[in-house]
Amino acid sequence: MSLDHVRNEIAKVDRDIIALIAKRQELAKRVAAIKIREGIAIHDGRQSQKVLVSVFDRAVESKIDPVAVQKIFEILITMSEERQRECSGDGNLP
Ligand SMILES: C=C(O[C@@H]1C=C(C(=O)O)C=C[C@H]1O)C(=O)O
């Protein structure tokens, strides 16, 4: 298998990852709508910890670096909270 072939495979995976991040961000909009309706804070420390522990465990199962995976998810959680803040009109919720 050539280097170009493997790079094309990587590019396909990268596209899939971006599509999934976009999907996660769409779900953040739905979360924001519920939080606005129910007056719930955007940042939920317990839920974000739950996500970080869960992805750590899955990364261990998948034999990939769990600390690196957690860092990626910290960024995803920040992106989600930023999207939710945009939806809630910046600063309406903590
Ligand atoms: C999506 C939520 O909002 C925030 C973002 C989270 C995430 O991106 O996984 C988790 C907890 C919250 O801080 C949520 O409360 O479920």
| Position 58 in a domain | yes
How far is 66 from 69, CA to CA, in rounded Å? 5
85: its two tokens: 């803040």
Tell whether ligand 1 has an atom less than 6 A from the beta carbon of residue 77. Answer: yes
Query: What pLDDT does 81 receive?
Result: 97
| Position 15 in a domain | yes
Range of the domain at 22: 3-87
Atom of ligand 1 nearest to the CA of 27: 1
| Position 94 in a domain | no
pLDDT in tens, 16-66: 999 999 999 999 999 999 999 999 999 999 999 999 999 999 999 999 999
Give the chain's domain count: 1
How far is 25 from 85, CA to CA, in rounded Å? 12
CATH number at residue 34: 1.20.59.10
ipTM of the complex as predicted? 0.99
